[in-house]
Amino acid sequence: MLATCHDRVERMLNLQGKLQQHLLDKGCDEPARQAARDVMRYFDIAAPLHHQDEELHVFPPLLAGPDAALRALVQRLMQDHRQMEHAWAETRRTLLAIAEGAESGWMPLTPAQAEALNQFAALYQQHLADEDRVVYPAARDNLSPAALAAMSEDMMQRRGVASKK
């Protein structure tokens, strides 16, 4: 489920990048407004749950482990979550302006708005890479099958997904 979330984050970041190009090419039309709404919906709802999953289930056993470099990486990833929350506020304001924009009254993104979108994407991309290359493999190696099953059950429950039991 965590890897699937990463795939969705990457799709939303790609959509955000395509949206920026679309705005340059075609302006703020209905497809642009819908793309902005789609990105907002994902990062408003699913991304916070994903961060919570990691902080509840993935990070604690790694922080308690013997690998100092891994502990330092996990601590940085937790700080990333706080930075992402802060960066999301600015990114969301920009996306909301697009989502509510009218074709006739659309003004191109300001340099600050474009930078906010680009920084948000860059922060997430580095974060995902570190988790996929280092943290998730370490978690798989260190969590018991029972812990993985409990994690999966909790994640499904918090999302209102029926258990496979």
Number of H helices, E strands in the chain: 8, 0
Q: 52-62: per-residue pLDDT in tens?
A: 999 999 999 99
The letter for the amino acid at 157 is Q
Q: What is the DSSP string of 63-98?
A: HTSS-HHHHHHHHHHHHHHHHHHHHHHHHHHHHHHH
CB atoms within 10 A of CB 138: 19
Q: 85-139: per-residue pLDDT in tens?
A: 999 999 999 999 999 987 666 778 999 999 999 999 999 999 999 999 999 999 9
Q: Within 13 Å and on the Cβ side, how many CA atoms surround 116? A: 16
pLDDT attached to residue 164: 62
Percentages of the chain per state (helix, strand, coil), in multiples of 5: 85, 0, 15
What CATH code is assigned to 2-158? 1.20.120.520
Domain ranges of the chain: 2-158
